[in-house]
Amino acid sequence: MANPFDVSRRQVAALVPASALAAVGDHHALTALFPVLAARLDRLSQRNAGSLTQYAGEERQWLADARLFYGYHRFLPDLDRLIGQELAQPRQPTPAAFADAALALLREQGFNQTEAVRYFGLFYQLRRAYRFIDSALIGSSPCMRQFRRALWNNIFGCDLRVYERYLWNRMEDFSTLLLGETGSGKGSAAAAIGRSVFIPFDPASNRFQHGVADTFLTVNLAEFPESLIESELFGHR
């Protein structure tokens, strides 16, 4: 449940064989954990000990984290295709052809239907956030890496478990103020945050409730009276 912009290849190398890390190429190092984790989960299932319903407390949480990591990475290519389709057809929600398979997998692993739908929405949000933060900001200097980490934490907080339990539908209640010189990338950073909000999934229509383009709207504050801006930012007197 770590911030992907705060995880290095060296940290992952301590957990997986060198061949697994080399196989991911230019992809994020965390993807190297997928085949290793999949093999261990398969061994649990073969011993009839792989369902969340068989565990409680901390052990259940560990297995749930592993199952969610597995499910998320298994459907990464599908999530990327869906995001690409959404961007190519702004404001027109696209059917998620792989949703039935993803929801079925989550249910098989011990999550109920309500949890499965919410976690599927979280998968989509996580992938959008990573994609937009990684691609919208140019540069790999230490300050840019720190900026990406900060943007991720701005969306999900510093503990993804806390986010998915209590804040997944509340983060829009909090405002973010980005400061910087003209041309420093404030607009790109704001767009990355805005396009990474949680979008609920509707199993009945097999679509997310609205498109990616609907989650971020730019407004020129110079068009509004100063008094109105002050009241929106600081409250009415």
pLDDT (0 to 100) of residue 70: 93
- A 10 A CB-CB count for 82 gives 23
> CB–CB of 9/21 below 8 Å?
yes
pLDDT (0 to 100) of residue 227: 84
In terms of Cα–Cα distance, which of 205, 129, 194 is closest to 160?
129
pLDDT (0 to 100) of residue 113: 96
Residue type, 168: W
Name residues of the chain where pLDDT drops below 50.
none
- A 10 A CB-CB count for 140 gives 8
- A 10 A CB-CB count for 187 gives 12
Contacts of 92 (CB under 8 A, 6+ apart): 211
Token look-up 């998968």 returns: 123
**DSSP assigned state of 24:** T
pLDDT (0 to 100) of residue 26: 62
> Three-state SS for 97?
coil
CA–CA separation, 211 and 121 (whole Å): 13
Token look-up 């990591």 returns: 69
pLDDT (0 to 100) of residue 23: 67
CA–CA separation, 104 and 111 (whole Å): 10
User: In the structure encoding, which two tokens stand for residue 115, read together?
Assistant: 């949890």
pLDDT (0 to 100) of residue 235: 73
Torsion of CA 161, 31, 118, 99, to 10 degrees: -170
Residue type, 93: P
